[in-house]
Each structure stands twice: as C-alpha cells, then as structure tokens.
Amino acid sequence: MTEKTGVIYILTNPSFPEYVKIGYADDIDKRLQQLNRSECIPFAFRVYATYEVNSRLSDLKIHSIIDKLNPNLRSIENFNGKQRIREFYAMSPEDAYSILEAIAEIHGCKDKLSYGTISDAQRQAEETAQEIEEEHKERLSPFAFSKCQIRPGEYVAWNDDPEMQFKVLDDKTVDYKGKPFTLSGLAALLQGKNSSAGVAGPRYFTYNGECLNELRHRLEG
C-alpha cells in the first residue's frame, strides 16, 4: 500500500508582504482554492515552496522550532477575550525556506523540497502591491505619539504581553529600564535583534488595546 503524502508549504501574499504562512496540506491546490475564496484579501496566496512529507501535523513541528527560536515571529493576538494563534510568521520567505532546507538536508530528503512557480499575472500583482505599499509609505510622515493623540506620561503595551507597559517620555520615545527608546529600537531589543533596521515599531505596541499602527492610520485617514 502506497503511503499517502502531503506537503508542508510556505505561502506568500502581496497583501501582507512582511508575513509568510507555513502549514500542511494533503492537496496544495485545494488548499490554495480554499484560502483564495475569501473576498477580504486584496491579493491571492501563492506557493513559495513546498516540502513533501508522509505524515500529517508535520508542520506543527516546524512551528514549534520557529516558536522556540523566536516566539515573537508568530502572529498572535487577543480578540474579544480569546487568543488567536495563526500560521503566519513575520519573516521573509527566504528565511522560511532556509529552515525547511536545513530539515530536508538533515533527513537526506532535499529532493522533496521545491520552489513554487509564479505566473506572469501573479508577478504583476506583486509589483502592483509593492507600488501601493511604497506610495502609502511615502504618504505617511514619521511616527509620533501626538499623531495617535498619546501624551507624555501615558503608557503603551507590548503586543505579545499586554502586561509589559512602557511610559511615553516624549513624541518619539518611551522609557525602558530608565533609558529612552524609540518604538523600533525597543521592538528590536525585545525580539533579540541586533538592529532596528526594517522593524516597524508601531506595529508591535498597543494603546488601550489598539495597535499603534492601526490607530495612527485611523486617525490620519
């Protein structure tokens, strides 16, 4: 009897380029059809890479490895009193692929790992999404607490642990252990990163339960 196989997949989506989705599917084409039925996402998911496996829930082992390496990468939030844990990770598809590649090499199964193919239409959609993102960034001026109607002396919280509160010192910085930090600098520090380059600090903090990035967009929009 032939053992049934499935795949661990890495999916990308131009709608949120800073995230990848890592999961398992018996049939990757059917999984894509399910995900892309939603009308709430501007662009469709596409396969960046797959790794053929012969057991279900193999993706959970990958999740466990990533969570242990850096628990702040996974998309986790509290919504309506419940914790939502998703298969989305704040990492590049290249980094996600390198994890699968290392596992494949350890098991001598690198031939089971393959890149997905992107159609011309999908490539054009990615270019369009990137142009929209760049235009949006250009319209946004640098972050300031005053743009979120937050005054010095008030507190913002860390997304992954609302109990971690940080006092706002001025329009740009918060206090952490007696020292001033920008949100990007503090987010990088709390995630164990050596540099704040590429870290969008306001995405990692909340004010009265609302993400600072979303709060700013709402007030500026």
- The model's pLDDT over 18-31, given as tens digits with 9 standing for 90+, comes to 899 999 999 999 99
Instruction: Evaluate whether 179 touches 187 at the Cβ level (below 8 Å).
Output: no
Query: What pLDDT, on the 0 to 100 scale, is given for residue 61?
Result: 81
Closest CA to 88 of 67, 57, 103: 67
Query: What pLDDT, on the 0 to 100 scale, is given for residue 2?
Result: 45
Phi and psi at 78, nearest 5°, equal: -100, 125
For the chain, which ranges sit under pLDDT 70? 1-4, 57, 79, 122, 125, 127-141, 194-198, 221
Count of helices and strands (H, E) across the chain: 6, 12
Question: Cα separation of 51 and 218, whole Å?
Answer: 40
To which H or E segment does residue 105 belong? helix 93-106
Query: What pLDDT, on the 0 to 100 scale, is given for residue 195?
Result: 64
Order of strands, sheet of 155-158, starting from the edge strand that comes earlier in the sequence = 161-167, 155-158, 205-207, 210-211
Residues 6+ apart with CB under 8 A from 110: 101, 104
